[in-house]
Structures are given as C-alpha cells and as structure tokens.
Structure 1
Amino acid sequence: MSSVDPRSPAAPPRPWLGQYPTDVPHTIDEQAHASLVSLLEDAWQRHADREATLCMGARLRYRDIDALSLALAGWLQQQGLVKGDRVAVMMPNLPQYYPVMGAILRAGCVVVNVNPLYTPRELSHQLRDSGAKVLFILENFAATLEAITEPLPVRQVVLCAMGDLLGFWRGAMVNFVVRHVRKLVPEHTLGSTEKRRVLRFAEALRQGGQHPFQRVPLGPNDVAFLQYTGGTTGVSKGATLLHRNLVANVLQMDAWFSPVLHRLGERPLTMVAALPLYHIFALTLCGLFSTQRGMLNLLIPNPRDIAGLVRTLGQHRVNLFPAVNTLFNALTEHPDFAKLDFSELVVSVGGGMAVQQATAERWLRLTGCPIVEGYGMSETSPVATCNRMDLNTFSGTIGLPVPSTDIAIRDEAGQDVPPGLPGEICIRGPQVMAGYWNRPDETAKVMTADGFLRSGDIGIMDTRGYVRIVDRKKDMILVSGFNVYPNEIEQVVNLHPGVRECAAVGIPDPHSGEAVKLFVVRRDPTLSEDDIRHYCHDNFTAYKRPKVVEFCEELPKTSVGKVLRRALRDHGAAAVVA
C-alpha cells in the first residue's frame, strides 16, 4: 500500500471520525494559546477563587498558585536563569509541585520531572543529561543527591519539606512526624560544602517576592518539558515537549471529556491525583487539564499506602479518577473499598499500561463507573487515543484517535497494513514531541518522513478506527516461528478467580527457540500449578500455553505500576519468587 499523507486532499477518510460522539469536534484549535503559560495564567485568573489542591487537610486556591509561582519565577531569574535553562523537580504529589511548575514555565525555563525513587546513578544521569541548573527536591530524598560523587550541572538546590504550604501549625506537625516519628528523612549534609548553594523552599519564596518578575516572551515552539522515558528498556532519554504539544493535549482532553463533564454543570469538580505528577499521564491530566477546567486535585503523596488512600477517598465525593491497572486492582482488593460512596464518580480513566478485563469488571461492579481506557506515551504528551466517554462496558481496545490525531498501523517496511492485521502503531498530531533531547540519532529511529512517531507498540485497527494493543515489539515471544503476545496471555489468565495478577515473558528453549514463562501472584492461596495449566489448556492453543509457571509474592513494577517484564526475564527475578 502507498504511504499517502492522510492529511492530504487525496487521503482516504479517517474511519474513526464516524465513531465520534456528535458533540466531540474532529479537530482542536491549535492556536488557542500561544504557550502553556498563556493557558495556565488564563486558568489561574478564571478560577482564582476555586480550590486547586487538597493535601493532608490543607487547601490552596488557584490565586495562591498564581502568586506563589510568580514569586518563585522571580527567584529563578534572581539566580541568573534565562529562557531555555532546565530546572529539575524531584518530589511526590505535594502542593508545592503546582507553583514550582508554574514558576519554571513563567521564567521561560524547562521543567525536568524526576522520579523521587531514583537511585543516585539514575538521578545523576538525568541531571547531567538535561543540564539542569536548579533542583527542587523533597528533603526526604536529599541523601540520594548527596550520594552522587561525580560533578553535576546543578548550581542551586531548593529543599522542600512535606509540610510546606500546609499552613503553619499543620505543616509543623507534619514535618515533625515525617522527620522524627516516622524517620522518613535520612541524614544528609547538603549545604555544608561549597559545591552548590542550598536553601529552603520558604526562603526561595521570600527572596523571590523581593525580586520583581520580568515577563519572558514565549511561543508555541519553545521547550516546556523534558520528560524522561525508556529507563526500563535502555538509557533514559528526554522527550522534548514543546509548549504547543502540551497545550494541544490539554485541549484534546477537554474536547474528549467535555460531553460527560458538561452534564455535571459548572460546579467545581474533584479529581483524584494518586498517580505521580512527575509521570506524563498525571502531569497532563492532574497537573494541566484539571487546572484548565478549574478542578480540585485531591493529592495523594503515597498511593502505595492503599489503606490510607481508601480512608482519604472515604472523606470526599470524587468525580474523576485516572489510574493504572495495578492501582485500580489494588483498590478493589481492599475490604473497605466497597463501602465508599462513588455516586458522583463519572470518569475513570485507565492508562500507562493495559487495563485487564477482570480489574475493569470489578471496578465497574463496585463503583458503577466503567474504566475508559486510553493510550499514549511520554513522546505524545501523552494521550493519542481514548475510548468514548459513554462507554458502559470493557471494550478491550484503547479506543479512537483523539481530535487532530492520525493513527497508522504499519509493517516493518513502513507501509500501512489493512484493517484487522497487526502492525506498529504510528502516531501523528500536534501533541507529538519535537524529538529526544540531544539525541538526533534516537529521534531519527522513531520519526518517519511523513511526520509519524513509531510507538514500538504492536496494534490492530478495525474498520471503524478502534485500535487494540497486541503488545510491545520487544516483549513479543517467538515460539517455533509463531508470535505470542504476553498481553493476550495476561488478559486471559487474570480472569481466573484464583489469580490476583500475572505476567508472561519469553525464556530460551532448546526446541522452540523461546517458550512462555508465567509468573502468578495468587488471590487464592490454594491455587496450584496444575490449576493454571488446566486453565491455559482450555483457553490457549498449544504454542501459547506457558511451559513454566512460577508463583511469586509480587511482580516487580515501576513507580507508576507498570510490570517490569525485563526484570522477570533476568536471573535476578529469583528474588521475588516465593
């Protein structure tokens, strides 16, 4: 098939447009805001009196974020930072994140989100690769920074504390408990050497308030974020996201979600921000889209504390709940979750990894709100496809391309494949990154001549335009010449009532080249290997059936809940096997 540019007049019609709800536009106005700062400042002013964040009982309004970010932007300029300089942020979901992000963007600088759970090696790589000159870091992770021995570009460090922005008394109490009762702040001596300047968050605010902020001209093609990706599959690379990329994705989400949100009227809505804001899924939905709509973000600093999360949810009526499959699954397993009131929950969005049917069905049964699965990558800001918001059952697909987005399914030669056949999912739209930071060679590997991003994911598009993920290229298992996709194995085995979760990987086999190995976490402690084998015999053809089954206490995962199949393939995975 020819690779005709689907945006050209001669291009065939996009089948997915016929599946759009009547009140969802086919395209967005990409010129609506000149920059992400324009979008944020407009939202801060329109929603000035609305509550923006709620964390540990303390609330910030949008006018507070506006003022705080202005002071911090002045402080950044006071340090000599100029347009294009990178500033790293290493903290969990805390109120400080919002004004810090706003300040960096207002100063014309670039936000570099950092996973707080990084090791010194991982942190060092990201700081050096990005060239970050300033680092905002929660004091709980200061020891990680101090453990780095090689030179870093960071000149100034701003130490944040859990209690910052929680109010004087509540903040003091939280800090005392975190530091002295729970002992969550390891000893460190940051600031005692001359290598870099260190000061507290409150002092940066004070100094910035005394330094008039000078507005920086920004345009759509200026860099807004370096969003690092690929750390679990190789050297972590910074996806260069421009202001127009993030603006586009916020507007795409607004167009897609608006029909269901309009039914709730103009009252302020509450979004659960349990996914970490340093991850692109939460950044766009909970950090940017929620701001654009004037929502209250219910911040969850530690979503791994499922019991604590359930208690928090019990105190609020939430309207939107973005999460990954593992979080949805863990919540539905908690005995108190079914007691919660979800009468006002209208949007449950699953992303970051495949949503399992068994999890989706339990969630719907307990909350009455179906999980709407979407798909994207750090490289696409992130949302590229999403199921319709009026979905009322598990679809097994990642939905339709969102407005102003093209999806092509292509073979190894880069040619489009017919509907119903598998190929690489390729994405083109205003939300697609400019490239990988300082890595033109890596950028060339994923960008096509006609402007598509090669995702590395294998998918199938049906005649209506719905896309279904088959799996990652690198995770595909080749058994005697037959392709076996781990996602398929996991989706089916997870439906077994005795299985809590599972993961399938390929292992070397002298007869078939590779064989399927299945790791299983039991829900039913009496579940046996024979039970799994009989179940797989009934559900899979011979070459798809696991040759090896191992039970484990838990599956290794990233900080946002993605299963690390690579770790399971390594010999080191024996540490998690029961």
Structure 2
Amino acid sequence: MSHDDSVAQNLKSPNPNRISDREVAAFWHKALTDLKRRTTLDESLPRTVLLNWRERVGKSSHKKAVQCLGGTLTFAELDAMSDSIAHYFLTRPFLSKGDCVAIMLPNLTQYVVTLLGILKAGMTVVNCNPLYTRPEIEHQLKDSGAKVLVTLANIAKTPAEATVPGLQEVIITEVADALPLPKRILINSIVRYVKKMVPPYQFDAGIKVTRFLDTCRPLTDEQIARVRDLEKLVNENDIAFIQYTGGTTGIAKGAQLSHRNICYNVQQSFGAFSPEWLERVQKIQDQPGSQNALSLLPLPFYHIYSLTCGFLSTTIGLGMTTTTLPNPREIKQLFKLMNEPNVMVVGMISTLMKLLLSRPEFDTVKLDPKTVIISGGMPTSPDVAAEWGKRTGTRITEGYGLTEASPLIAVADPLNPTSGVQGYPVAGTLIKLRDEEGRDLPLGKGSEVQGELLAKGPQVMVGYHKNKDETARIMSDDGYLMTGDVATIRADGLIEIVDRKKDMILVSGFNVYPNEIDAKAMATGLLLECATVGVPDAKTGERVVLYAVPAHKNLSQEKLSEALNESLTHYKRPSKIVFVDALPKNPVGKILRREVRKMESQK
C-alpha cells in the first residue's frame, strides 16, 4: 500500500484503539502553524535525484561542487566526470536499468562521481561501509545482488576475500585519482610505495578488475546524448538506494529508498534552516566566480544521515560546495577545514564534537556564529551542546530519523534549537505514539504519556529488499513506520526521544531508560563517554550496568556512584560501574549498545 493510499484509508480510523490520520494531521497543523513552520510539501518540485541534479547544474555549473584533499570539481566538471562512468556502466553487457552497483569508499570525490554515475545509468546505489569485515561485505553484496563493486585499493583485500557469486566486476580507485597531475601520481605513489597502505589483493579469476580512471574517459556528444536519454527514463518510483541499516539492531537489512523518498526528504531537510540563513547562502552564491558557500561534511557519505542531509540536500538541493575528507578523525585537517571562509553548515555527531572539544587545538577554530551545526545519528549530549555553544558561539540543530525514513523525520526549530530533544516533524509527516498493547496515545501530553513513536510520510521506505517479513514487522496495520523509539510529545509538539524501546531496562517492574542514566552520568563531568545496559538478575529481573570512559585516570567507581546517587532514584542506580578505555561505535560515532551488552555477557 502506498503512503497516499494509506493516508486516504485512515482519514477516519474504524479501530477504536487508533487515532485517525485526520486527527493526527490536525494536531500537527496547529502546532507547526503556531511555530510558523511549513506543514505541506511543494508538489511541483522534481521527484528524481537526476532531475534535481540537472536543474542544479543549469544554475551553478561554474561553481565549486566538491572539494577534497586539496582538489576541486565544479558542478560542470562533476557532471562530465559522472557522465563518463555512467556511460561505462551502460556499456557493461551484464548491467541493465535497475541493477545494483555497490560503492565501498570513504569520503572522496570519487564517491560522489560514482554515485551520480550509477543513478544516471538508471541503476541502484548500494552503500557499503569501507570498514566492513569479510562476512559483512559478503552478506551485503549477496543480499543486494550487486553486480559491480567500486572500491578503494587500500581496502580491496577484504572484498577480494569474500565469496560473492553474482559479482562480475570490481572497479578500483586510488586515493588521489580525482586530483590533477602531477599531484595524483605523487600522492598515489606515496600511499602505495612509501606508506605501504595498499595491502596485496587478488579477486577471483571470473571477476573483471578495472581501474577507476579507465571508466572516466571523455565522451563524445553522441555518448553524452545516450546518457541524457537514459536519465529521462528514470522515474520517481525507481529505487535510488538500497541503504543497509547501521547494525545497531542486529543483522543489517537493506532499506529500499526510491527517488521519490529521497527527493521529498531533501525538501523536508530544508526545515533545518532559517529564511535568513538561506538568504545568506544565496548572497554568497550570487557572487561572481567559482567561490561558493561551504557545506563541511566530515561524516561518511555511505551513512544515510550524511548522504541525504549533507550532500544531497546542501549541494544538490541548495547548490553549496561539499567540503570533506576521507577520515573525520584526521583532527588537524578537520580543524583546518572548519576555519575556511564561508563555512555555512557543518554536519556533526555528538561523539565527534566531544572528541574535537577535548583537543587543545579546538581553540583555534573560529566559526561564524551564524554557521548551522547539524547534529544527527544519536542524541547530542547536553554537556557537549553547552560546551560547543560556549566555545564557538554557534547553536546545534538536532535532527531525528531512521535509515527507513531516508532518514529525516523531525528537526529542531532553526530559530530556537533546543539540545537534547528531537524537534518537530518535518513537513508532510505525521507522528503519533502507541503503547505496548497497540493503542494510540493522546498527543501533546508531555512527559506523562510515553509510547513508541510512529511516523508516516513520503520519505518512508518502499520496504526492505527481499524481506517482506521484516517489512511487515516494522510497518503498522495503518501504514506507519514503527521506529522502536520511546518518545513524548509536548503540547506545542516538541518531540523528545526517551530511549530505544528494546533498550529499556525493567527493574522490579520499573521502566529504566538507558539514555536517562547516560545523561545523568555525563552531567557529572567525570566521564568522556558512557553506555548503560541491562543485564539479567534473578532478584529484580534486570539490573543496571554502566560502562564508562573516565575523563581522569584517578576517578574511582565509588566517586562516580556517589555523584549518580544524588540524581537517580534507587532502582535507576547502576549496580555495577565498569571503566573502559573506549566504547564500541559504528562508523559515524554512535555508541553500539548491543556490543556493550556483549562485553558484559562475556565477563
């Protein structure tokens, strides 16, 4: 059932346990109108990534589109380079419209070239984490059915060891392939021969191996025309991405995101920016020459947050220059990029901000106070938000979402961002709460009413790739995406995520939410990071265990426990505190509570 059909069917809910879509829409219309936020979407805008790209190239061809490792491409140059790889895909006899091509790359110019090329050829992008182990990449390539993999020579050894019968070609790029000569040869030689950063690899004899640069040769006018003709055949319901979930909930599943899903979510993401900020960006873009407003995106593009809310929104949507680097933990380089003129937006996550703040060089960062700091992927720790604001003069705008929603569902009020809460629904999105018995809960009751957050909108995925059972489990009978997050909704519509539903700890019948314990622990100022988990207990059912990274080596468990006892009632207090050097995280820096549980179970 499509989003539009489910809305029509549920305008008047026949189920007494359900709040109808009409009632939900009425609540949000009032709340968002009072805040002067948009409640509807512009249906006249293009609904494929390619139409939006073609429009952007027409407006901004001479402007810088992407810069990385000291090299830049204008929108016209990026268009031409992606045309070339698109045409290469079209010449592969085993590839056709709708087939999957996997990208296993860090943030490099080659990533955006390849992404656009795949979409121009009418094919589907499968984003793969470059840090995947052999079983992980093997699962994803097999599950997606990818026929081609584009990867980096430095990490090619891992996929080369995988067994993927359907894989027919691997395109290998080197770090500096998008840079001009002689810089390209110099850097690639240093990486391979001096730093020895390219381990030997050997793919199966049946897999063709191609150099990335061989796919990027200049095209004739006739060949360009063929690519343009193919672009016109792509429609809004075609799958643009199979985006695998981040691994925080178990075996990764591939969310099918259509061009329509992505384009609506890009439009929805503009709610993170104030009209005044958008005017400032336009003023910079109106200046002659190739200089442009900068969108600093250090987080990996293979993660949907950085991809949609970063490159697709700020560069294709708003025409800004994407500035990035292969590794966001190259701190000195990141600080240098943060100090470039015209940085107007920075994509962040709480753990990366915490790391940056801990470095003495952070005081050299001079951001414009009007720079928008977008934070997603996990709730921003209040202590991080406070210190960041104090030391930079900028305010953090938080967003909330899931891979299955392209990802954005809610975003803070750009005129009055509040840390620690998830903001308000983006335009065209319905949100409600449901209890454990499947009953919809009244909206706008604040902390007295907590339930699982459900979302419906045009950004919600088509479904999980080749997994109807899992799709049925996450979609409600009235067409809502069941997020698995426990939330509250204030009278004015402000949404606050209390915790993950599955992470909730039940202690002697009392609900304990790990995020609350984490927040209290971080508020002591004694820790760098922490994660609370529940473990089985014969007496209380479950008990609370806190894993923490101390800010100082002389901190004792007793001192931390005393500090927590002042702010936590008895059943919420950790029964055990474990100090560790670091906590397991996913590639964008989100702490993996599931892995912390494993650490505890192995003791």
SS in 1 for 2:78: helix
Q: What is residue 489 of structure 1 aligned with on the other side?
A: 517
Q: What is residue 163 of structure 1 aligned with on the other side?
A: 176
Letter in 1 for 2:263: V
Residues 1:3 and 2:18 are matched in the alignment: yes
Q: Judge which range, 465-474 or 213-222, deviates more.
A: 213-222
Among 528, 539, 563, the residue aligned to 2:567: 539
Residues 1:122 and 2:122 are matched in the alignment: no
Among 352, 357, 361, the residue aligned to 1:332: 357
Q: What is residue 336 of structure 2 aligned with on the other side?
A: 311
Residues 1:413 and 2:426 are matched in the alignment: no
Q: What is residue 26 of structure 2 aligned with on the other side?
A: 13
Q: Equivalent pairs: percent with the same residue? A: 37
SS in 2 for 1:239: strand
Shift of 1:550: 1.0
Shift of 1:263: 4.0
Among 236, 239, 262, the residue aligned to 1:223: 239
Among 141, 144, 147, the residue aligned to 2:161: 147
**Structure 1 gaps, min length 5:** none
Q: In the superposition, relative to structure 1, how do residues 260 and 515 fare at CA in structure 2: closer, same or farther (>3 Å)?
A: farther
Aligned residue pairs total 569
SS in 2 for 1:570: helix
Residues 1:201 and 2:217 are matched in the alignment: no
RMSD in angstroms over aligned alpha carbons?
1.9
SS in 2 for 1:165: coil
Contact (CA 8 Å) 2:248, 2:593: kept in 1 or not? no
Q: Deviations over 1:501-556 (max 9, x none)?
A: 11111112221111111111111222211111111110000000000001111111
TM (norm. structure 1) is 0.94
Alpha-carbon separation, structure 1, partners of 2:246 and 2:553: 35
Q: What is residue 62 of structure 1 aligned with on the other side?
A: 75
Q: Judge which range, 375-384 or 22-31, deviates more.
A: 22-31
Shift of 1:103: 1.0
Contact (CA 8 Å) 2:379, 2:421: kept in 1 or not? no
Alpha-carbon separation, structure 2, partners of 1:231 and 1:457: 16
Q: In the superposition, relative to structure 1, how do residues 345 and 277 fare at CA in structure 2: closer, same or farther (>3 Å)?
A: farther
Alpha-carbon separation, structure 2, partners of 1:388 and 1:497: 28
Letter in 2 for 1:104: I
Contact (CA 8 Å) 2:430, 2:456: kept in 1 or not? yes
Residues 1:101 and 2:112 are matched in the alignment: no
Letter in 1 for 2:556: S
Q: What is residue 507 of structure 2 aligned with on the other side?
A: 479
Alpha-carbon separation, structure 2, partners of 1:541 and 1:89: 48
TM (norm. structure 2) is 0.91
Shift of 1:36: 1.5
Match runs of 1:234-313 below 5 Å: 234-266=250-282, 267=284, 268-290=292-314, 291-313=316-338
Q: In the superposition, relative to structure 1, how do residues 4 and 473 fare at CA in structure 2: closer, same or farther (>3 Å)?
A: closer
Q: What is residue 410 of structure 2 aligned with on the other side?
A: 385
SS in 2 for 1:322: strand
Letter in 1 for 2:214: E
Alpha-carbon separation, structure 2, partners of 1:178 and 1:98: 22
Contact (CA 8 Å) 2:293, 2:342: kept in 1 or not? no
Alpha-carbon separation, structure 1, partners of 2:528 and 2:24: 46
Shift of 1:39: 0.9
Q: What is residue 13 of structure 2 aligned with on the other side?
A: none
Contact (CA 8 Å) 1:273, 1:321: kept in 2 or not? yes
Contact (CA 8 Å) 1:55, 1:298: kept in 2 or not? yes
Q: What is residue 565 of structure 1 aligned with on the other side?
A: 593
Alpha-carbon separation, structure 1, partners of 2:262 and 2:329: 28
Shift of 1:485: 0.5
Contact (CA 8 Å) 2:100, 2:126: kept in 1 or not? yes
Q: What is residue 112 of structure 1 aligned with on the other side?
A: 126
Match runs of 1:65-76 below 5 Å: 65-76=78-89
Letter in 1 for 2:545: K
Q: What is residue 354 of structure 1 aligned with on the other side?
A: 379
Letter in 1 for 2:120: R
Residues 1:434 and 2:434 are matched in the alignment: no
Letter in 2 for 1:195: G
Letter in 1 for 2:429: T
Q: Deviations over 1:480-500 (max 9, x none)?
A: 111110100111111112211
Q: In the superposition, relative to structure 1, how do residues 207 and 59 fare at CA in structure 2: closer, same or farther (>3 Å)?
A: closer
Shift of 1:441: 0.5
SS in 2 for 1:88: strand
SS in 2 for 1:490: helix
Shift of 1:47: 1.1
Q: In the superposition, relative to structure 1, how do residues 275 and 551 fare at CA in structure 2: closer, same or farther (>3 Å)?
A: same
